[in-house]
Each structure stands twice: as C-alpha cells, then as structure tokens.
Chains A and B, each alone.
Chain A
Amino acid sequence: MRDIRFLVRPRGLGRAAERSGVPLFLVALVLLFIFDPTTSENFRSAGNLENIFANQSVTGLIALASVIPMVAGYIDLSVAGIAGLANVVAAAIIGTYHQSVLVGLVAGVAIAALVGAINGVLIAMLRLNPFICTLGVYIFIGGILELYTKGQTISNGLPVSMSGWDSAKWLGVAQPFWLLLVVAVVAWYVLTQTPFGRKLAAIGSNEPAARLAGFRVDRAVFVTFLLSGLLGGVAGDLLTAQTLGADATTGASYLFPALAAVFLGQTAIRPGQFNVWGTIFGVFLVAVAVDGFTLLGAQAWVDQVFNGGALVVSVAFSTLMARARDRRARTEAMRAMQDAGSPAQHHDTQVPDVSHADAPTADV
C-alpha cells in the first residue's frame, strides 16, 4: 500500500510489524489451529472454513458500515441495531405480509437508510454527540423490535430459496463472502479514490480546518451516517436470508464483534487510520480466534472476552504506536534541520511540537 503517514520508518522489521500486525496475527492463529492436534481436524474441515467465510459476511458488512463515519471522526454504534431492524422488517414483509422477496429486501434497506438519515440529522445538523445519540438509537431500536416481535422469532412464510442464495457458492466460495468483497471494494474506492473520501479524511483530521477549506462538513457527515445505515440494511437483509427468519436480538448482537474488527483494522495496513482492508482482516481475526478457541473447548464466554479484549488491545496498540510515530517525527525533523546545517536565522528551526510548554511562543 501507500507510504502515507510515515515520516520516519521504523527500520525494517518494526515497521512491517506495525503495519501487518493484524494480518500476521491472523496467519499465526490459523497455523496454530491447523497444527494443534486438538483443533486440527475440525478446524480444517471444509464445513468449518466455509462457516467462517460465510458467517462473517454480516459482521463484515456491519463493520464496513461503521468505518465510514469513523473516517470522518464520528462513531456510529447503531449500525448493528439498524441491521436488526432491517432483518425484522424484511422478514415480516415477506413472511407475515406475503410480499415478494424483492419488496422485503428493498423495504429493509429503505428503513435502514431512513434511520441512518435520522442519525445524520441528529448528529450532522443538530450537532448532538454521536456516541450517545447512536447508542440511544441502538437501544431504542432494540426495544421497538422486542415490542413488535413479542420476543418471538419470525420464520413462517419465508421462501427457502432465500437461504439457497445464502449457501450457494461461486468459484467455490459462499456467495455472501463475494457480497462482502464487492461492498469492501466499493467502500475502499469511495473512501480512498474519490474527492468525497479525501474530504472525509480531512474532516477526520481537523474539522474546523475542513470547514474553513470550504468543505460542506455537515453534508458530508450526514452522508456518512446515511451510507452507514444503508449498509446496515444490506447486512440485515443478508441476515434474513442466512437465518431464514428474524428476531429482536440477533442483529443487535453484532455490535461488538463489528466494533472490535473496526478498531483492530485501525491498527493495520494504514496504522492510525480507519481503513477498509484492515477492517476486513479484523473481522476474520476475530472470527478465526473465536472459532478456534471454541474448538479448543472454550464456552460461550470466549466471544465477549475476545471482543472486549480486542477493543482494548487495539486501542492501546494504535494509541501507543501513534505516540511513537509522533516522537520519531519530531526527532527526525530536528535531525533534518541539523543535517542541513543551515544558519539558524534564515530557516525554520522552531520546535515542531507547538503545544509543548517550552517552545518559544509569541507574547500574547
């Protein structure tokens, strides 16, 4: 990938490790589970691998949906809830109200986009705190779904062909994985190859500066929440096909695995920045780890322990790495000036860290 964000490369191994920590960890885990005698057979079985690929698509879609606002410096905790909403709406329209599959799926995505737009209005237009707001929306949706489903699973009347699509393969890999891949490519394209994506990165880096640079910050942030909701809807539709039904809690349960993947992803590929491919690695790292440890005999607790641990570790890792990068940048900047051997008077020799207390500052 590109050499963005690096002033000074940690020599050799260190730098490679920083960028590819998550992918390497993923490989290491896969090897461990392949060669560990207790997990080897089951882990390598075609069914299990397929499971990992197919079942992670929902997590992956929700994680990608969350990445979009995060690039602009905003967080959307409601995506998993929105996916659950789309899940129930699609299942109810197809199963309970006997509409066509297409109508159900479109309705799921539409209502998801609507909630995304509501998030956008609350956060981008009314400038409410995104963390609290989207957490509220997440909880609110959970309650509404509980009310509507009365705790029951909607499963009658859904055509089996739906789950057929889900389990069908293309080039030997389950179709949902291809869906995830397509969405990932589109997200990567939008976030890194379009002016819109670069504006989001600028907003994420310094919002007041972005505003003064003439970017329509409120509009861009609104769009990120709209897109995030929309993708959440796609995830919900996929979940409907996968489970051939819906209930109030399944969608919501993806919140933490997806979040863990996003934060793990921030430590990889382009360290310090939320990015698409890092997130995809994050999704599969979480999945493989949970799968393997479950095969090792761990119980249901492993999910939460791993997701929670991944969140804290990845945040710690990326924060400490960012600090180290800043330090290196400073020392290198100082060194570059000394190497230049320039007469101090005529060149910039100010200490780069302007926030530092002992930098020479102009009198107020």
Chain B
Amino acid sequence: MCEVAGEQVSTQAPADPAIPDADSVLYVRGISKVFPGLRALDAVDLDIRSGEVHGLCGGNGSGKSTLVKILSGVLRADSGKVRIAGRELEAHQIGPKLVRDLGVRVVHQDLALFPDLSVAENMMLGAGLPVSPVRSVQWRELRRRTRLNLDRFEITATPDALVRDLPIGVRSQVAIARALQDVSSGEGVLILDEPTAALPAHEVGLLLDAIRRLAAAGHAILFVSHRLDEVLAVTQRVTVFRDGRVFAEHRTAQLTESELIDSIIGQGQERRADTARSVPLPAAGAQPLLTIRNLSAGPLREVSLEVMPGEIVGVAGLLGSGRTELLRAVYGDLKRTAGMITVAGKAANYSRVDQAIAAGVVMIPEDRAGSGAFGDLTVDENLSLSVLREYWGLVFRRTQLRSDAEELRQRFRVRAASGSVTMKSLSGGNQQKTILARWLRRKPVLLLLDEPTQGVDVGARSDIHAAIRQVTKTGGAALLVLSDFEELAQVVDRAVVLRRGKITAHVPRERLAARHLNQLIYEETDNHA
C-alpha cells in the first residue's frame, strides 16, 4: 500500500544485483516471514561485505527487528535462504547455534551485561572462565585474557572495573568485544541493533569510531538504527525497509539526509494525511482546555503549551526526549519542579493521580502490560475499575457491572470470548480498547495517550482513533504521543516537537507531515561525531 504511484524517491538499483559480490560474507535472499495478520518480511535481499558497515533503516514495523531475529536464529523464516561465510542455509536450517558457529554475533540495545560484575567476568562468563584443576577461577589468567581483548578492541577499561562504573559508551564496546572475542579479524558478521539509542550524545562518536575500527579489521557489520545522522556517518551502504520489503539500497557516499528520509517515509503518505482530517479548529477566542506554563519536571525544561477544546495535539520526540514525562507530569504522576498547569481554567497542579482523574484527566500509559492492564483480572473487572464506586450498594452489584461492561465491549468492539475471561488472554489491540473504554466511560475532558496504538493491528488502530476523536468532538481534548509519525500526521490537528526536554518546534496543521516531523526530529539531533 506504500508503493504509491509517482514515488519520486531516489531509488537506486542495488549495486549490480545479479553479481554476488565475491567479498560478501552474508547474503540474504528472498527471506519471508508471516505473522498472523501481518506480512513482516516479504522476500528481502541483503548482502554485506567484509569490512563494510551496512546500515538498515526503516520505520516502526518495517521488518528490521524481524530480520535481526531471523539472522540470529531466534525466529524461523518461512522461506528464503542465506549464505553465511560460504555456507548456504535454507530458511528452516537457520538456528541460533549454527549461525553462531558461522560467526554471526548480535549486540542488542540493552547490551545484556551484568552491571555488578567486573569487565573480566562479563567478557569471559559466556566464553567460559579459565579454571584450575579444582574448578576455581584462575583470576590472573582471566585478567590476562581480558586485557588482550581490551587491547585488541582498543577499549579504555581495566579488567577489574565493574561494568556499572563504566561510561555507557564503553559498556557498549565491552558488549561488542564480548560478542566478537572468539571471532578472528576478517571474519564474522556483527549485527548492532540500535546500538546508540541509549547513549548520551558525547559518547556516540566514541562508539562510531569503535565501529569503524571493527570494520577496518575486516568484520562485516549490520548497523540497525533510527538515527540517520549516525547511519550516514558510519555506513558505506544503507538498505531501507518499508512494509517488510527492501525499498531501496543506497550508497551512503551519494546520499543526503533528506533523501534517506524520503526513502524511509515516502511522500505518498502525506497527501493522504491531510484529507483524513475533517474536524474544524475551535473558534478563535475560545478558552484553552489545557494550559501548561513553564513546566519543568524530570527531563522537561520550561515547557509551555496550550490545547484548545476539540483539539488533538501530537507530541513528537525520540525516546528520552521527555514525551512520556510530559504526559505524566500533567497526570500528577511525575513531580513538577516548576511551572503551572490549568485544565478548563482551573489550577491543575496535581500531585496525585486520583486528583487528575477526579478533574476529568485520564492517561493511557505506554507500557500496556506493565502499567495499563490488570492481566489476572477479568475483562469486565478491567472495564469497571475506573468507576468502582458506582457498583457499591450493600453488596457489589455484579449483574449491573456485567451488563454495563457488555455494552462497553460492544461499543468499543472488544473481541473477547466473554467478559469473564482474563485480560491477559486478549490480544494487544483488544486489551488497549478495553483500557480505553475503562477511561472513556468516565467521560474525561482531557486524554493523555502514550503510544496508544503500539503493537495494535490496523483494524483496532482505527477503532482507537475513532474513540479519541469522539472525545474531542464533544469538547474534550487529547495530547497524543506517537512515534509513528505517519500515523501522528493522520490523527492529530497539530503537533509539538520535544527534544531534550524542550519544545523545539510547533508544527501547525498545514505543515503536518511525517517527513517534516522526521526532519525536525532527525536533522536537529545534534552535531556530535
């Protein structure tokens, strides 16, 4: 659906696609993977030469993670084949052990280090600690081997340092060194999945240098990242996924950032976005429903924002930009250090969540399983927790509760075998609709929504959009955090861009477009490196 006619993106043909590059250590050919209701990967091709840093970009759900999982053997592809280090494998043969034996190593964003153990222990626990004949650890030998590795990968840390005392950038290097310690130079495929996502800006350059050195030593590197400036800085080629397909392969040297953004997002999306909105803006002179003045809380610094009745305002920002904290601060779930908030003209400097709820402010948190759903309780109980008191007579009025809940389930199209099944037996989308229904039944005036459609299929997604619109049509307003900017551009009336706790841009309705938002997010992401 993305291959819109008239696509003007600089889609370069992959460099000589017919000729397998003699240098390539990793070929991926025609790999496909289907999940129920979702074609995650559709016959993707990819190859990486030794000594190359190869970027992999794409929007959320474009299939990057699925490919990484397949290449590391934790997820089985439906069809296709790969060739790793000269060994050809059919889809069903790709398993974690074999892939590892062939030299594929994956370092994930969360690194999986043991923070309370030393660098040496972290390096060697996987590979096996050197032990004496009585099975005690030979510390001296351990240190010696670790020091060799630290030297080889040019890491400035001592073997005895605790990992948690290291700067985060060095931790990433330790994780990479641990992964590659038994892979000789000139061999192996290193997959880095969002390696810089958690890094402070000044440490990113350090890690990028380390990655360049690894490439120079002959390792083939797949660099999966959202941060386009880094992709441009470190890679030789970039493959762009869109909707589970290879949309383009670019040579980085001939690529500009805006071309790359075009390639990832496409331009066809934007036209559709404008037609999707039909709600008129509120009359001029109306009083704002939500006013935030110079709010500081957590990472937020001096944030000011007004939301008019009837408006859905999008909040665009990278992870860690303060987007979640903005919602939490309004909700009374995060302590304000300065500033003031009013809702419908009344002071709304809530210090507790129940005060916010009483005033008609509700929040749908990002982490559905962790802080939204009550997994062990029934769907009907989940629906009723926001209005418990209504059902308290002398005994709990369960019959009433159930019939109300049934009505809600139908109205919000929650697909559940019955209301007495546990919440956790529902799919993500149905859980989210249940949570939304739980709060909307209170008829809130202000909705705070943090990634409400994450992990939700297309059908449920439009149900959720409609439910939000229903609130704003009746004079309410919504503040909506979405990291899928295409969706954001379709749903909201205007947006603000958050960066490092500050609002760095106000995007009016007529300029709302995923491409533009992406530029505001990506291009301004600092000039380290």
Contacts and interface: CB of A to CB of B under 8 A. Distances in A.
Interface of A: 2-7, 189, 192-195, 198-199, 201-202, 204-206, 208-216, 272-273, 325-326, 329-330, 332-333, 336-337, 340, 344-352, 354-355, 357-364
A332 B194 CA distance: 36
A189 B422 CA distance: 23
Nearest to A338: B36
Interface in B125-175: none
B369 interface: yes
A355 B352 CA distance: 30
Contacts of A194: 392, 396
Nearest to A335: B417
A351 B425 contact: no
A333 B427 contact: yes
Contacts of B391: 195
A97 B375 CA distance: 54
Interface of B: 35-38, 40, 58-62, 64-66, 69, 74-76, 109, 193-194, 197, 226, 319, 331, 333, 352-354, 356-358, 363, 365, 369-378, 381, 385-386, 388-389, 391-392, 395-396, 398, 415, 417, 420-422, 424-430, 454-460
Contacts of A205: 374-377
Contacts of A213: 353, 357, 385-386
Contacts of A348: 37, 415, 427-430, 456-457, 459-460
Nearest to B395: A193
A201 B385 CA distance: 10
Contact of A195 (B69, B392, B417, B421): B392
B385 A3 contact: no
Given A194-B396, A212-B333, A357-B74, A350 B457 contact: yes
A18 to B, nearest CB: 15
Contacts of A211: 333, 353, 371
A208 B371 CA distance: 5
- Top 5 closest pairs, chain A to chain B, by CB: A344-B37, A349-B37, A329-B425, A348-B427, A349-B36
Contacts of B424: 326, 329, 352
A74 to B, nearest CB: 16
A211 B454 CA distance: 22
B425 A357 contact: no
Contacts of B75: 357-358
A337 B35 CA distance: 14
Contacts of A352: 424-427
Contact of B388 (A4, A189, A195, A216): A195
A360 B33 CA distance: 10
B417 A336 contact: yes
A193 B374 CA distance: 19
A7 B369 contact: no
B12 to A, nearest CB: 23
Given A214-B356, A345-B458, A348-B460, A202 B421 contact: no
Given A212-B333, A362-B60, 20 more contacts: A4-B381, A5-B420, A7-B422, A194-B396, A198-B388, A205-B374, A214-B354, A272-B376, A329-B424, A336-B415, A348-B415, A348-B427, A348-B456, A349-B35, A350-B427, A357-B75, A358-B74, A360-B38, A361-B455, A362-B455
B61 A209 contact: no
B65 A363 contact: yes
B34 to A, nearest CB: 9
Given A346-B459, A364-B65, A3 B420 contact: yes
Contacts of B421: 6-7, 329
A333 B426 contact: yes
Contacts of B357: 213-214
A212 B353 contact: yes
A172 to B, nearest CB: 29
A362 B61 contact: yes
A206 B389 contact: no
B372 A346 contact: no
A6 B374 contact: no
A70 B420 CA distance: 22
Contacts of B76: 358
Contacts of A189: 395
Contacts of A361: 65, 455
A262 B460 CA distance: 41
A364 B457 contact: no
B369 A354 contact: yes
A175 to B, nearest CB: 27
23 contacts: A4-B420, A193-B395, A208-B371, A209-B365, A212-B353, A212-B372, A214-B354, A326-B425, A329-B425, A333-B417, A333-B425, A336-B415, A337-B415, A349-B35, A349-B457, A350-B35, A352-B424, A357-B75, A360-B35, A360-B66, A361-B455, A362-B60, A363-B65
Contacts of B356: 214
B354 A362 contact: no
A145 to B, nearest CB: 38
Contact of B36 (A204, A212, A329, A344): A344
A290 B430 CA distance: 49
A215 B36 CA distance: 37
A243 B424 CA distance: 49
A336 B392 CA distance: 34
Contacts of A345: 37, 457-459
Interface centre among A2, A214, A344 (most CB of B within 10 A): A214
Nearest to A360: B35
Interface centre among B36, B74, B352, B356 (most CB of A within 10 A): B36
A264 to B, nearest CB: 20
A330 B374 contact: no
A208 B370 contact: yes
Given A213-B385, A348-B459, A350-B455, A363 B376 contact: no
B389 A195 contact: yes
A184 to B, nearest CB: 16
A5 B457 CA distance: 26
B378 A4 contact: yes
A363 B58 contact: yes
A194 B396 CA distance: 6
A189 B393 CA distance: 12
B458 A349 contact: no
A347 B422 contact: no
Nearest to B398: A2
A36 to B, nearest CB: 41
Nearest to A7: B421
B425 A7 contact: yes
Contacts of B375: 205-206
A358 B373 CA distance: 21
A192 B396 contact: yes
Contacts of B428: 348, 350, 354
Nearest to B364: A212
A193 B376 CA distance: 18
